[in-house]
Structure formats: structure tokens, C-alpha cells
Homo-oligomer: A and B are copies of this chain.
Amino acid sequence: MQELTQKQKEVFDFILATLREEGNIPSVREIAAAFGFASTNAVNTHLDALQKKGYISRRPGQNRNIEIAPDYLIPQRGIPIIGRVAAGKPIDAIENLDGYLDLDSIYDREQHFALKICGDSMLEAGFWDGDYAIVRHQPRVETGEIGVAVINGAATVKRFRWLDDGCLMLIPENDSYQPFTVDADSDLQIGGKVIGLHRVLK
């Protein structure tokens, strides 16, 4: 993708911003007004340049017909992950970008949910009081995995162990707590497997 001039970048950013904030694409005259151009043709040459460089395309015979190239259409989500900090460079100039930390792209929304941890029964497994456990909703959790058990409507995060008789033993990861077995007559549902953790400090 070719480089843009300063002005071209400004025009392109304006189109993107308008699309995001107003919900539709500006007309050439609106762009001209925003930049103080007296002629719509000033906009047009910029649009021609943007089109030639692959940033936009235009639908012939339509109003507000600018199409943003797919690469730029999807707003980048998440917080930037910095891999290494370049020697001598200030951090503001993020150069060694390793992608973005975006929960939606890691955990798809249909299969996952978050559960707030109450208490410190899983402290040694790294779950603190107030943390969010990120759970993949699935019907089976194997022995040794950390999962969510819903017993009579109350959800708990514990390490699972299936006993020979088919009963479920839930094992806390904190010496102050004792493992316990779920009664056969309890209403047990499997919430899913814990596959992530998010903590907001202080």
C-alpha cells in the first residue's frame, strides 16, 4: 500500500472519522467545507489519489459513494501489545507493536462468558478475589482442569476430579479449604472450562 501525503492522510482520516461518528460517508462538498476548500475538485483530486493508492474505491453513479478499503474499514480494537522497547526511543513512538490485546478476537462471544471470583479458595491457582474468570461454555470439563460447576444455581470455580462412581469432586487451590464431593441428588450443571483470567488492579 502506497504512502499518503499529509493532506491525503487528513482527508482519509476525516472520511473515517465521519463514518465512525456520524454513521455515514461525507459528500465531497462536506469534505470541502470541513477543509475550507472553495472547490469540490480539490477534494476530488485527493479522492483520486486515495483511490489510485488503494485506500478507497468509488461506486459509479451513486451519492456518498466512497468505499473504504477493508483493511481500514474495521476499526482496530483492543490495547496495543508492545513486544520490545526500541533502545533510546521514547515509548510514545510505539514501534515494536506485537498486535492488539482484544478479548473479542481471543474469546468468541457466543461461547464464552466471564464470572467474577468471590473469595480466595482458588488463590494458589492464581485467582484472586474480584478477578474475572473467563469461561468457555462447554458440557465437559476433564479431571485436572479448572472449571465452573453450578450446584443448585450457585456457580463455583474449582479444579475438577471425576470419581469412579461418576460423582464430581471439587478441589480448591488453597490449603485453608477442603475438597468436597457433589451430592448425587444435587442439581449439577457444568458451566464450562476456565481458560482465562482478567484482573483490574486496585
Asked if A49 is an interface residue, CB under 8 A from chain B, the answer is: no
Asked if A106 is an interface residue, CB under 8 A from chain B, the answer is: yes
B residues within 8 A CB of A81?
113-116, 132
Asked if A182 is an interface residue, CB under 8 A from chain B, the answer is: no
Asked if A24 is an interface residue, CB under 8 A from chain B, the answer is: yes
> Please, how many angstroms separate the alpha-carbon atoms of A146 and B201 in the complex?
10
- Please determine whether A201 and B191 come into contact, CB atoms closer than 8 angstroms: no
Interface-located stretch among A2-10, A37-45, A72-80: A72-80
The answer to whether A82 and B25 touch (CB under 8 A), given A106-B200, A201-B195, is no
B residues within 8 A CB of A23?
19, 25, 67-68, 73
> Please, how many angstroms separate the alpha-carbon atoms of A13 and B22 in the complex?
18
Shortest distance between the CB of A173 and any CB in chain B (Å): 13
B residues within 8 A CB of A191?
85, 91
B residues within 8 A CB of A1?
none
The answer to whether A77 and B104 touch (CB under 8 A), given A23-B68, A63-B27, A201-B194, is yes
What are 14 sample pairs from A and B whose C-beta atoms fall under 8 A apart?
A19-B23, A19-B24, A82-B115, A85-B154, A85-B155, A87-B152, A88-B187, A91-B137, A101-B132, A126-B128, A146-B201, A195-B201, A197-B197, A198-B199
Closest 6 CB pairs of A and B: A87-B153, A197-B199, A101-B114, A63-B63, A81-B114, A24-B25
User: Which residues does A use to contact B, with CB under 8 Å?
Assistant: 19, 22-25, 27, 62-68, 73, 77-92, 94, 98, 101-104, 106-107, 109, 112-116, 126, 128, 132, 134, 137, 146, 150, 152-155, 187, 189, 191-192, 194-202
